[in-house]
A and B are shown apart, each in its own frame.
Chain A
Amino acid sequence: MKKLTALLLVTVMAAAILVSCGGASSGSAEYALVTKASGNAYNEKEAEGFVAAMKAQGITSYVVKHPEKATVDAQIAVINSLIAQGVKSIAIAANDANALSATLKSAKEKGIKILTLDSDVAVADRLTFCNQAGVQEVGQALIDAVYDIASGAGEYAILSATSQATNQNAWIDAMKAIAAADSKYKDLTLVEVAYGDDEPQKSTDQTQALLQKYPNLKVICAPTTVGIMAAAKVLQDKKSTVKLTGLGLPSEMAAYIGNDADHSCPYMFLWNPIDLGKLAAYASVALVKGDIDGTVGGTFMMGETQYKLTAVEGTNASEIILGPPFKFDPSNINEWKEVY
């Protein structure tokens, strides 16, 4: 008899779990966001933006799925579940550029609009990509920061990752091109591009070498999260007058950001994940409504701002560039250091 009761209990429990969990979701989902994994603070912020943008448009039929682990395996399971539910669009931050291909193709066959944000997949497998920042925007922001911190004139150096790093080289080339094209930057002199190989120790050594080689150095620009942190520590420990800017993680850089002599970095940049989530939400809706179809040249509105689908360099696939990178300075660093 006891066993029968126990059996009944388990059955009721299993059913109750399913039923109670179901209460949380309302109706069928149409717009889906798939993050890299649960517990990824950067992705959580993207999801926050996505949800806020959906609500702002009066849409309730959205769902955010955080895969259990940051693996292809877990993401495929989640996408399959969304296909089975018959959603209309999936925005995904991919864990692998190629391995999701088959799954995304089967989603496409079911008429689901696929777009990516944060990290892209092969261009054939998606309609468009929400890019956190374009090469030109990053280059512009960095050269302007150097100009501003150096008060318009003087020597500056760049501390990069490896000499082959695609992203860093593109940004550095953009900086050089912008500086060459506008006479506003004529008094700035780039003395050296040093490579710290994204290793903390090597980046530290390279920073010290730069300080010794160029006594008149005013600014170091490090467009890499590893490099900027190593340089920040060196400059701050030496109480150097040389200032720093670049691309860095707020959580790692919080201790170095400040406008006084005790801090080495007045401000730096990275992307704003909340806005990226918002952009993905508006792009999803525009794709489903047919305002854009993923071809280059299409436009849609995000609130008051018009966004345009531009071509990914060297292809005719499209991407949407969020805008200039996000600035982290003493006024907001304490809020963002908790985020990522």
Chain B
Amino acid sequence: MAGKSGRTISAVPVRSWKKLILSWEGALVVIFIAVLIAGRIMSPSFNLNSVMFMMPQYLSQLFIVFPMAFVLIMGEIDISVGSIACLSATTACLAANAGLPLPLMILVCLGTGLACGALNGFVLTVWPELPPMIVTLGTQIIFRGISEVVIGAGSSLKYDSDNLSPFAATAGPVPVVFFAVVVVAVLFMILLSKTTFGRRLYAIGSNRTAAKYAGIGVNRVRFIVYALAGLMAALCALFLLTQIPAVKSDEFGKGFEMNVIAMCVFGGIATTGGKGNLFGAFIAGMTIVCMRIALGLINVNDNVITIVIGVLLIVSVLISGISRFKGKGKAKKKPKSVTAD
């Protein structure tokens, strides 16, 4: 088993159906299907057309799920993404209202997001001892504050959403945003599971000091991840603008960071870092979106929907927590199965 370096690579995937179903991702697929079936039974309106019709507004948040998963896998957190979306939407509207053509407006929007993300990354890498939660809390207030100064408190920045019609288009019943989310998901999945960059994220999340001594440029990786989060928040804002043709500084993108973190955690990504994958986060996100749509269609009070999702979140953390305890117990009983490094 041991290689030349004396290190073992035990992660040879054993693909059995039982294992697949018993993994958290497998469970999520089952839950996802259960939600779809229950929705279908409960509401005759829960069909492909109506789900796809209602989806764009919720779906754009999924863009942020993937970079947020990266941040969480590193054992960190970014709570400024909602504000970044707000500021990006603000600059995008300003650009469009100033008469800039669509490609330039997109560039302005994504550029703003990237710059905001890079600012987070800059502060956190220049002073690596600062807690990310506090730094991004600060920038959360700053970014939304800038947007409020530009727009004016209480007033809204109008925008002609017809300009963004390519983003609001549909192929049959399926909106463009759905394809975009899938493409982004695949790109991020490849980045996380097939590249050294992805491996480094897990390494940093599992043991930062060890990662540093192993020669990983921890701060470089962190900077890139925070910048990516900003960029994807701006992409989210761009698609959201097709849905909401007016930006209010105290509304746009508010609470997105928590929705997105909830999707990640439900998807089995540990906030302590080093654990989880994007397939889980993606299915979790889709499950929450479909659940919201189904509960909305049967006219459940919006606040009850929030409670349901909260309960689901706690249960999912509980279950993955319990199984982790169990795993530790087993390992102690059978020391033979653990290969010494």
Most buried by B among A3, A63, A71, A101: A3
Given A6-B322, A76-B243, A76-B244, check contact A14 B312 (CB 8 Å). Answer: yes
The residue from B41, B50, B245, B315 contacting A84, defined by CB atoms under 8 A apart: B50
Interface residues of B in 154-195 (CB under 8 A from A): 156, 158, 161
A sample of 17 inter-chain contacts (CB < 8 A) reads A7-B21, A15-B37, A19-B41, A21-B42, A21-B295, A24-B299, A28-B44, A28-B45, A38-B303, A66-B302, A71-B248, A73-B251, A80-B57, A96-B156, A98-B246, A99-B245, A99-B246
Chain B residues positioned under 8 Å from A96 (CB to CB): 156, 246, 248
Q: Is A4 an interface residue (CB 8 A)?
A: yes
Size of chain B's interface in residues, with CB distance under 8 A?
Answer: 57
What does the 1/0 interface line of A2-17 toward B look like (CB < 8 Å)?
1110110011011101
Interface string of A149-163 (1 = CB under 8 A from B): 000000000000000
Shortest Cβ gap from A33 to chain B (Å): 11
Is residue A124 within 8 Å, beta carbon to beta carbon, of the partner chain? no
* Chain A residues within an 8 Å CB radius of B298: 18, 21-22, 24-25
Asked if B297 contacts A18 (CB within 8 A), the reply is: no
Chain B nearest CB from A34 CB (Å) reads 11
Q: Nearest-CB distance from B97 to chain A (Å)?
A: 14
Asked whether A25 lies within 8 Å of B299 as measured between CB atoms, the reply is: yes
State which residues 90-138 of A face B: CB under 8 Å.
96, 98-99, 101-102
Question: Is B151 part of the contact surface with A, judged by Cβ < 8 Å?
Answer: no
Asked whether A65 lies within 8 Å of B299 as measured between CB atoms, the reply is: yes
**Among candidates A10, A65, A102, residue contacting B315 with C-beta atoms closer than 8 Å:** A10
B284 to chain A, nearest CB (A): 12
- Asked if residues B251 and A81 are in contact (CB atoms below 8 Å), the reply is no
Contact B35 A78 (CB under 8 A): no
What residues of chain B lie closer than 8 Å to A102, measured between beta carbons? 161, 245
State whether B38 touches A38 (Cβ < 8 A): no
User: Is the pair B300, A4 in contact by a Cβ cutoff of 8 Å?
Assistant: no
Which residue of B22, B53, B303 contacts A80 across the interface (Cβ within 8 Å)? B53
Assuming the contacts A2-B326, A11-B30, asked whether A18 and B35 have C-beta atoms less than 8 A apart, the reply is yes
A68 at the interface (CB under 8 A from B): yes
**Nearest chain B CB to A103 CB, angstrom units:** 8
Inter-chain contacts of A288 with B (CB < 8 A):
none
- CB-CB under 8 A from B39, the residues of chain A are 18
Alpha-carbon distance A4/B161, docked complex (angstroms): 48
Since A21-B298, A68-B303, A84-B50 are in contact, a sample of 15 more A-B pairs with Cβ atoms closer than 8 Å, ordered by chain A residue number, is A2-B323, A2-B326, A3-B323, A6-B322, A18-B298, A19-B41, A24-B300, A28-B44, A68-B302, A72-B246, A77-B57, A78-B296, A84-B54, A85-B45, A99-B245
**CB neighbors of B among A52-88 (8 A):** 63, 65-69, 71-74, 76-78, 80-81, 83-86
Report if B233 contacts A (CB, 8 A).
no
Contact partners of B295 in chain A: CB under 8 A: 18, 21
B34 touches A11 (CB 8 A): yes
B254 / chain A contacts, CB cutoff of 8 Å: 69, 71
Interface contact B301-A66, CB-CB below 8 Å: yes
Please measure, in the bound complex, the distance between the C-alpha atom of A83 and the C-alpha atom of B316, giving whole angstroms: 32
**How many whole Å from B323's CB to the nearest CB in chain A?**
5
Closest to A22 in B: B42
The smallest C-beta distance from A276 to any residue of chain B, in angstroms, reads: 22
Within 8 Å of chain B (Cβ to Cβ): is A29? Answer: yes
Identify whether the interface residues of A are mostly helix, strand, loop, or mixed: helix
Instruction: Please provide the chain B residues from 38 to 66 with a CB less than 8 Å away from any CB of chain A in the complex.
Output: 38-39, 41-45, 49-51, 53-54, 57-58
Q: Report, as a range, how many residues of chain A touch the other chain.
A: 35 or more
Residues of B within 8 A of A25 (CB): 298-300
* Residue from A14, A73, A98 within 8 A of B34 (CB atoms): A14
Q: Is B31 an interface residue (CB 8 A)?
A: yes
Question: Cα distance A131–B307 when bound, in Å?
Answer: 35
B12 close to chain A: CB less than 8 A:
no
Known: A10-B31, A18-B295. A81 touches B303 (CB 8 A): no
Residues B274-309 near A (CB distance < 8 A): 291, 293-306, 308
B18 shortest CB reach to chain A, Å: 9
Q: Are B244 and A81 in contact (CB under 8 A)?
A: no
Given known A72-B246, A73-B251, contact A83–B302 (CB-CB < 8 A)? no
Complex Cα distance, B27 from A264, in Å, reads: 67
Query: Could you tell me the distance in whole angstroms from the C-beta of B50 to the nearest C-beta in chain A?
Result: 4
Flag if B22 contacts A76 (CB, 8 Å): no
Provide the residues of chain A in CB contact with B54, threshold 8 Å: 77, 80-81, 84
Q: Kindly state the separation between the CA atoms of A25 and B45 in the bound complex, as whole angstroms.
A: 13
Q: How far is the CB of B306 from chain A (nearest CB, A)?
A: 6
Q: Is the CB of B297 within 8 A of A81?
A: yes
Give, as a whole number of angstroms, the nearest-CB distance from A245 to chain B. Answer: 29
C-alpha spacing A336/B53, complex, angstroms: 41
A83 touches B301 (CB 8 A): no
Chain B's nearest CB lies how many Å from the CB of A4? Answer: 6
Which of A14, A63, A98 is close to B35, meaning CB atoms less than 8 Å apart? A14
Known A-B contacts A76-B244, A78-B296; A7 and B42 likewise in contact (beta carbons under 8 Å): no
Q: Is the CB of B296 within 8 A of A19?
A: no
B319: Cβ under 8 A from any A Cβ: yes
Neighbouring A residues of B301 by C-beta, 8 Å = 38, 66
A14 to B21 Cα, complex, angstroms: 17
Cβ-closest chain A residue relative to B327: A3
5 shortest interchain CB distances as A-B pairs: A84-B50, A99-B246, A22-B42, A18-B38, A68-B302
Cα distance A19–B44 in the bound complex, in angstroms: 13
With a cutoff of 8 Å between Cβ atoms, the chain A residues found around residue B58 in the complex are 77
CB < 8 Å neighbour of B57 from A2, A66, A76: A76
**Neighbouring B residues of A7 by C-beta, 8 Å:** 21-22, 27, 30, 319
